[in-house]
Structure 1
Amino acid sequence: MKSRPLFSIALSTTLLASGLASAQTVLSASSWVPPTHTLSVAQKTWCDALEKESSGRMKCDILPKAVAAAPGTFDAVRDGLADISFTVDGYTPGRFINTQVAEFPFLGDSSLPTSLAYQRIYQKHFAPLGEHRGVKVLGVFTHGPGVIFNSKQPVTTAADAAKLKFRIGGGNINELSKLMGFNTTLKPAPESFELLSTGVMDGTFFPDESIVSFRLSMIKHATTFPGGLYNTSFVFMMNPAKYNALSAQDKAVVDKLSGEYAARTFGEGWDKVDAASREVQKTQGVVRVQADPSFIQAVAAKQAELEDRWAAAAAAKGLKDPKAVLAEFREEIKKAK
Structure 2
Amino acid sequence: MGIISKIGAVSALCLSIASVSMSAQAQTTELTVSSWLPPSHPIVEDMVVPWIKQVEEATNGSVSIKILPKPVGSPPAHFDIARDGLADITFGVHGYQPGRFVLTSVAEMPFLGDSAEATSVAYWRIYEKYMADKGEHDGVKVLSVFTHGPGVIMTTGDPIEQMSDLDGMKIRVGGGIIKDLAGAMNVVAILKPATQVYEILSRGIADGVFFPMESLAAFKLEGLLKNLTEVPGGLYNTSFFLVMNPASYDKLTDEQKAAVDAASGEAFAKLAGAAWDVADEEGRQVALDNDIQIMTASESFVGEIGTASGPIIDAWYVEADKKGVDGKAMLEEFKQLAKELEASN
TM-score between both structures, scaled by the size of structure 1: 0.97
Structure 1: gaps (5+ residues): none
Q: Does 1:189 align with 2:182?
A: no
* Mapping of residues 267-282 of structure 1, within 5 Å: 267-282=273-288
Q: Post-superposition shift, 1:81?
A: 1.0
Q: Does 1:21 align with 2:56?
A: no
* Mapping of residues 14-53 of structure 1, within 5 Å: 14-41=18-45, 42-53=47-58
Q: Which residue of 2 aligns with 1:325?
A: 330
CA RMSD of aligned residues (A): 1.2
CA distance in 2, matches of 1:308, 1:300: 12
> Percentage identity across aligned positions?
43
Secondary structure in structure 2 of the residue aligned to 1:129: coil
Q: Which one of the candidate residues 226, 229, 232 is aligned to 1:226?
A: 232
Q: Does 1:293 align with 2:290?
A: no
Q: Post-superposition shift, 1:333?
A: 0.7
Q: 2:141, 2:243 within 8 Å by CA — same for their partners in 1?
A: yes
Q: Which one of the candidate residues 251, 255, 265 is aligned to 1:259?
A: 265
Q: Which residue of 2 aligns with 1:57?
A: 62
Secondary structure in structure 2 of the residue aligned to 1:108: coil
Please tell me the residue identity of whatever aligns with 1:254: V
TM-score between both structures, scaled by the size of structure 2: 0.95
CA distance in 2, matches of 1:322, 1:166: 28
Q: 1:165, 1:184 within 8 Å by CA — same for their partners in 2?
A: yes
Structure 2: gaps (5+ residues): none
Larger deviation, residues 52-61 vs 108-117: 52-61
Secondary structure in structure 1 of the residue aligned to 2:295: strand
Q: 1:146, 1:230 within 8 Å by CA — same for their partners in 2?
A: yes
Please tell me the residue identity of whatever aligns with 2:272: F
CA distance in 2, matches of 1:26, 1:112: 30
Residues 314-337 of structure 1, C-alpha deviation per residue, up to 9 Å, x if partnerless? 111121x22111111111112211
CA distance in 1, matches of 2:69, 2:35: 9
Q: Does 1:171 align with 2:186?
A: no
Q: Does 1:104 align with 2:109?
A: yes
Secondary structure in structure 1 of the residue aligned to 2:133: helix
Residues 66-110 of structure 1, C-alpha deviation per residue, up to 9 Å, x if partnerless? 111110000001111111121100000000000000100011011
Q: Post-superposition shift, 1:291?
A: 2.2
CA distance in 2, matches of 1:36, 1:51: 21
Larger deviation, residues 115-124 vs 174-183: 174-183
